[in-house]
Structure formats: C-alpha cells, structure tokens
C-alpha cells in the first residue's frame, strides 16, 4: 500500500461539487512525523524541515539540523547542500 497519496488524484475521483470540502478536510489531517529519505522523495513545499545531514568528516556521525527547503534544494548556512539523507516536517508552532 502506498504511504503517500496525490491529492489531485484523489479529488479527481469525487464529484466536482464535493472537491473543495474534501480538499479542506484532507489538508486538516495531522501530518505524519516519520523520517523520509531524500532518495524516496523531497518536500513539496518550501519551508523549514528537520533533517539528518551526512557529515563530511568520516570520524563524525550524521547530525540533525533544521534546514530551509526551496526550489528543490535544502539550504545550510546560505548554501545549497546535497548531504541531507532524511527529513520530516516540523510540527505546528503553539498557538498560546
């Protein structure tokens, strides 16, 4: 079974009048907080993501970092990086 669903493909299966309500309800569902491999897929939206970054030093372990994603690349220290191995969306900020 697929873990990810194409929203447009799902909406195409329902009556046109029901699509806006269904789209709103789907986007209100909780986000899954599981690590996603960059070889499997990359984020669909620009924004901040929690990432596991491959260390450039063989003696060091990979590390976690919050990085910006935009235009198909992760950015670390104002430079595009291809060392992100896994990523996940950040939770919503508290409202209070």
Return the C-alpha torsion angle 85, 3, 22, 29, nearest 10. Answer: -60
Nearest to 48 by CA among 24, 28, 68, 19: 68
The confidence score (pLDDT) of residue 31 equals 61
Per-residue pLDDT of the chain (96 residues; tens, 9 = 90+): 345 567 777 778 888 888 888 877 777 766 667 899 999 999 999 999 999 999 888 777 899 999 999 999 999 999 999 999 999 998 877 777
Beta carbons of 34 and 50 less than 8 angstroms apart? no
Q: What are the C-alpha distances in Å from 46 to residues 17, 28, 75? A: 30, 18, 11
């Amino acid at each position: 079974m697929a873990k990810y669903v194409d929203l447009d493909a799902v909406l195409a299966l329902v009556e046109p009048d029901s699509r806006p309500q269904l789209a709103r309800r789907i986007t209100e569902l909780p986000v899954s907080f599981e690590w996603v491999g960059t070889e499997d897929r990359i984020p669909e939206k620009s924004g901040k993501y929690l990432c596991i970054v491959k260390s450039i030093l063989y003696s060091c372990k990979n590390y976690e970092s919050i990085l910006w994603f935009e235009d198909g690349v992760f950015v670390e220290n104002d430079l595009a990086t291809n060392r992100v191995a896994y990523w996940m969306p950040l939770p919503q900020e508290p409202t209070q």
